[in-house]
Amino acid sequence: MDFYIDEAYLTDVIVRTEYPRYDDRTDLTAEELISVIKHPSPSVSIGTKDHPEFDCLREQLECDGYIQVQRGWWNGDRVLKTFSLNGVKFKKHDQFPCAAAMKHHLKFQRKYLKQHNIHTFGSTD
């Protein structure tokens, strides 16, 4: 089976979360009150996640039985049955990386195929 995703979606997106420094400000210790006065702005957490379009593809591949998704850590997904993504073949037991890593994986695989004069023609055999 051949799958395609626009490579603009092979990236991560920034997630910024704000939360209050203390959930209950009615019963603060002296140190906590001083901290709130010195730093009145909320605490901020900044992280990343896969682009939502890549998440959709990943969920489709999981539902169709092509990959086993690991949600406890990054880059832990494994291929269960052969398919191709954007012309690059994934075989059983291969790693299926996160969106940002996938962009580089596809690039390196294409470069390898070109250097070794290997033509896939979209075949997943």
* CA atoms of 77 and 79, how far apart (whole Å): 7
Give me 50's structure tokens: 């896969």
Task: Give 60-69 pLDDT, tens digit per residue.
Answer: 999 999 999 9
Going edge to edge, which strands form the sheet with 95-96? Answer: 67-68, 77-79, 95-96
Domain ranges within the chain, ordered by starting residue: 1-117
pTM of the entire predicted model:
0.74
Q: What are all long-range contacts of 72-81, with beta carbons under 8 Å and residues at least 24 apart?
A: 74/98, 75/101
Q: Which helix (H) or strand (E) holds 67?
A: strand 67-68
Task: Give 77-108 pLDDT, tens digit per residue.
Answer: 999 999 999 999 999 999 999 999 999 999 99
Among 25-34, 75-84, 112-121, the least confident range: 112-121
